[in-house]
């Protein structure tokens, strides 16, 4: 049996590696393709990370996964267009209830929820590495995330004497803008196996999420990875993280909207602690999503013990 994971390689999708490992461990072949490569492989399951899927000849079971709602501007219109032009799958996966409601499908296609997870290697990493950077930010640097506000603190503000590592991709525009700043470093993209090493070389980790939909309603994978590695977390304050803290615990340094409290003394003196993450492994997230039961209903020979 072969499962083809299909996405345009624009976003960070650590779940693809997690799925490939999970299914490979159960003797199922996996391939990762771009949308134009689908015709080159005979797959039993086409697993699309949406985006859109305009259909074509249906020769495989189709799963559509919505890891996020569309980003602004015009995010509601983007979601509506995707919904209209996308072929109907056999099963849908959504990050959470918020993402499902954004698309608001009215059909009877079965669905489940698959939240973000953490690779087991993050729990097993050694947190005693020498610290080469004061702060690290990992993940997207798309302009709609307003990250310039943060970086300017290191270029000309309260943190200009401290170092920042930005671990991302497609950062040429940002690197050029801050090329004169010797305390701001850029790396990436790197494999998922290398991410933990960079985080562990940093004293503090930054989870910078603007308090605006859909960003403030969606799980922050980098936050989970920071927490698993037990690196003190500096974060903006927004709805998802506050709900997470109530349910799973942990103590984080919350930045004010104007970043006026982003200074070394307050950060260094803050008491940090880490959440309970036993339910946040990739395997547990995959197993409770419902997708395995769906696959078994279609292919009864599959066993996921």
Give the pLDDT score at 24: 96
| pLDDT range class, residue 195, cuts 50, 70, 90 | very high
3-class DSSP state of 241: helix
22 and 97 inside one domain: yes
Residue 14 included in any domain = yes
124 and 218 inside one domain: yes
Comparing CA positions, the residue from 252, 278, 251 lying closest to residue 123 is 278
Residue 137 included in any domain = yes
Residue 305 included in any domain = no
Q: What's this model's pTM, rounded to 2 decimal places?
A: 0.92
217 and 77 inside one domain: no
Pairing of strands 233-236, 253-255: parallel
Give the pLDDT score at 56: 58
Residue 54 included in any domain = yes
58 and 162 inside one domain: no
At 251, list the tokens: 């103590």
- Residue 61 sits in a domain of what CATH number? 3.40.50
At 19, list the tokens: 């799925």
Instruction: Give mean pLDDT, residues 79-108.
Output: 89
256 and 293 inside one domain: no
Q: What are the strands of the beta sheet with 233-236, ordered from one edge?
A: 184-187, 164-167, 133-138, 202-207, 233-236, 253-255
Instruction: Give mean pLDDT, residues 289-299.
Output: 96
Q: Per-residue pLDDT tens for 246-280?
A: 999 999 999 999 999 999 999 999 999 999 999 99
Instruction: Give mean pLDDT, residues 151-156.
Output: 97
Instruction: Give mean pLDDT, residues 74-78.
Output: 74
12 and 137 inside one domain: no
143 pLDDT above the threshold of 90: no
241 and 179 inside one domain: yes
Average pLDDT of the chain to the nearest whole number: 92
37 and 62 inside one domain: yes
Instruction: Give mean pLDDT, residues 173-197.
Output: 93
Comparing CA positions, the residue from 143, 199, 190, 149 lying closest to residue 169 is 190
Residue 274 included in any domain = no
Give the pLDDT score at 83: 73
Q: Per-residue pLDDT tens for 230-250?
A: 999 999 999 999 999 999 999
Give the pLDDT score at 80: 76
204 and 74 inside one domain: no
- Residue 251 sits in a domain of what CATH number? 3.40.50.2000
68 and 136 inside one domain: no
Instruction: Give mean pLDDT, residues 132-145.
Output: 92
Instruction: Give mean pLDDT, residues 154-160.
Output: 96
Structural domain of residue 36, as residue ranges?
A: 2-117+282-298
155 HSE (CA, 13 A, CB side): 14
264 and 291 inside one domain: no
Give the pLDDT score at 200: 95
Most confident option among 40-54, 139-153, 173-187: 173-187
| pLDDT range class, residue 137, cuts 50, 70, 90 | very high
Q: What percent of the chain has pLDDT over 90?
A: 76
162 pLDDT above the threshold of 70: yes
Task: In whole angstroms, give the CA distance from residue 20 to residue 28.
Answer: 9
Residue 201 included in any domain = yes
Residue 304 included in any domain = no
| Total structural domains within the chain | 2
Comparing CA positions, the residue from 167, 172, 202 lying closest to residue 186 is 167
DSSP characters over 60-123: SEEEEEESSPPPSSSHHHHHHHHHHHSPP-SEEEESSHHHHHHH---S---EEE----B-HHHH
By the 10 Å C-beta count (0-12 exposed, 13-18 middle, 19+ buried), 236 is classed as buried
86 and 207 inside one domain: no
Residue 41 included in any domain = yes
Task: In whole angstroms, give the CA distance from residue 237 to residue 205.
Answer: 15
Give the pLDDT score at 10: 67
């Amino acid at each position: 049996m072969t499962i083809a994971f299909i996405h345009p390689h624009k976003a960070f999708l650590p779940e693809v590696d997690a799925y490939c490992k999970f299914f490979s461990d159960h003797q199922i072949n996996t391939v990762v393709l771009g949308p134009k490569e689908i015709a080159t492989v005979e797959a039993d399951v086409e697993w699309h990370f949406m985006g859109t899927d305009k259909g074509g000849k249906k020769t495989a079971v189709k799963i559509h996964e919505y890891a996020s709602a569309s980003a602004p501007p015009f995010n509601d219109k983007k979601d509506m267009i995707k919904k209209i032009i996308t072929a109907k799958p056999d099963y849908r996966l959504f990050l959470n209830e918020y993402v499902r409601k954004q698309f608001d499908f009215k059909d009877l296609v079965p669905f489940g929820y698959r939240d973000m997870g953490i690779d087991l290697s993050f729990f097993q990493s050694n947190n005693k590495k020498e610290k080469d950077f004061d702060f690290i930010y990992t993940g997207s640097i798309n302009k709609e995330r307003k990250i310039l506000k943060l970086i300017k603190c290191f270029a000309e503000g309260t943190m200009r004497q401290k170092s920042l590592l930005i671990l991302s991709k497609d950062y040429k525009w940002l690197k050029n803008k801050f090329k004169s700043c010797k305390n701001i470093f850029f790396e990436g993209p790197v494999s998922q196996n290398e991410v933990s090493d960079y985080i562990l070389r940093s004293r503090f980790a930054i989870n910078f999420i603007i308090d605006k939909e859909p960003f403030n309603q969606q799980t922050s994978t980098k936050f989970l990875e920071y927490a698993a590695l037990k690196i003190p977390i500096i974060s903006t304050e927004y709805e998802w993280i506050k709900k997470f803290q109530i349910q799973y615990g942990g103590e984080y340094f919350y930045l004010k909207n104007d970043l006026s409290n982003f200074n070394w003394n307050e950060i260094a003196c803050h008491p940090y602690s880490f959440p309970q993450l036993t339910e946040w492994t990739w395997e547990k997230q995959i197993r409770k999503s419902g997708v395995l039961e769906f696959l078994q209903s279609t292919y009864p020979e599959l066993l996921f013990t």
